[in-house]
């Protein structure tokens, strides 16, 4: 009887406790992260679209901060991302409000947060960026061809957000309504 109790206790630990601990110990070695970065390029009538996906069962807060090519913060977008949903962010639209000085090139930094835990970064997003470009081409009937490229957003280890008393996290989330 004691062996049967031991077996059931072990079974409960394996089925219920171990998966919870495993989720907490996920690393950022793939594209699944709480912190993603990419670049935008609006030069030559181009545009960049960022697609953020929440493949988890948790509701997340996603903050996307745009920086110019010199690292100066420009504008941000604050959104709630439901489980298994996606968020599309168009760099051209977001940055067009900065006229007349719309930065042509720069960086986007995206973090996912758990608002119920005082804004603690929470792993739960993957992302892609699509670059739309126009190119003069001798092969196109009109002399111009549209080019679209897509790549993963780079995953940055969550720990980077905590360095120097949360300096990086503060740069991204501060003053983002």
pLDDT tens sequence for the chain (177 residues): 565 555 444 444 444 444 444 444 444 455 688 999 999 999 888 899 999 999 999 999 999 999 999 999 999 999 999 999 999 999 999 998 887 788 999 999 999 998 777 778 999 899 999 999 877 666 656 666 678 899 999 999 999 999 999 999 999 999 887
Residue ranges per structural domain of the chain:
31-173
Q: How many helices (H) and strands (E) does the chain have?
A: 4, 10
Q: Say how many residues make up the chain.
A: 177
Q: Say what the pLDDT of residue 52 is.
A: 96
Peptide bond into 100 cis (omega under 30): yes
C-alpha closest to that of 43 among 99, 105, 130: 105
In whole angstroms, how far apart are CA 137 and each of 2, 47, 140? 78, 19, 6
**Statement: the pTM of the whole predicted model exceeds 0.85:** no
Which tokens is 166 given?
């949360």
pLDDT value at position 102?
86
Rg (CA), the chain: 21
3-state helix vs strand vs coil in the chain, percent to 5: 30, 40, 30
- CATH code for the domain defined by 31-173: 2.60.290.11
Query: What does residue 88 show for φ and ψ, rounded to 5 degrees?
Result: -105, 130
Alpha-carbon span 55 to 13, nearest angstrom: 25
Cβ atoms 113, 96 nearer than 8 A: no
H-type alpha helices, 25-106: 91-95
pLDDT at 116 (0 to 100):
77
């Amino acid at each position: 009887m004691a062996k049967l109790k031991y077996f059931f206790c072990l079974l409960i630990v394996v089925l219920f406790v171990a998966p919870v601990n495993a989720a907490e110990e996920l690393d950022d070695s793939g594209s699944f992260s709480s912190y993603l970065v990419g670049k935008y390029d609006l030069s030559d009538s181009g545009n960049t679209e960022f697609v953020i996906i929440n493949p988890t069962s948790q509701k997340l807060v996603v903050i996307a901060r745009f920086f110019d090519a010199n690292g100066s913060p420009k504008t941000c977008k604050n959104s709630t991302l439901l489980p298994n949903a996606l968020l599309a962010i168009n760099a051209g639209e977001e940055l067009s409000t900065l006229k007349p000085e719309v930065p042509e090139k720069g960086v986007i930094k995206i973090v996912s947060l758990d608002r119920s835990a005082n804004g603690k970064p929470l792993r739960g997003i993957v992302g892609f960026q699509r670059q739309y470009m126009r190119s003069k081409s001798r092969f196109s009937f009109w002399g111009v061809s549209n080019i679209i490229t897509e790549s993963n957003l780079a995953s940055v280890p969550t720990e980077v957000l905590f360095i120097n008393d949360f300096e990086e996290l503060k740069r991204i989330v501060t003053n983002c309504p």
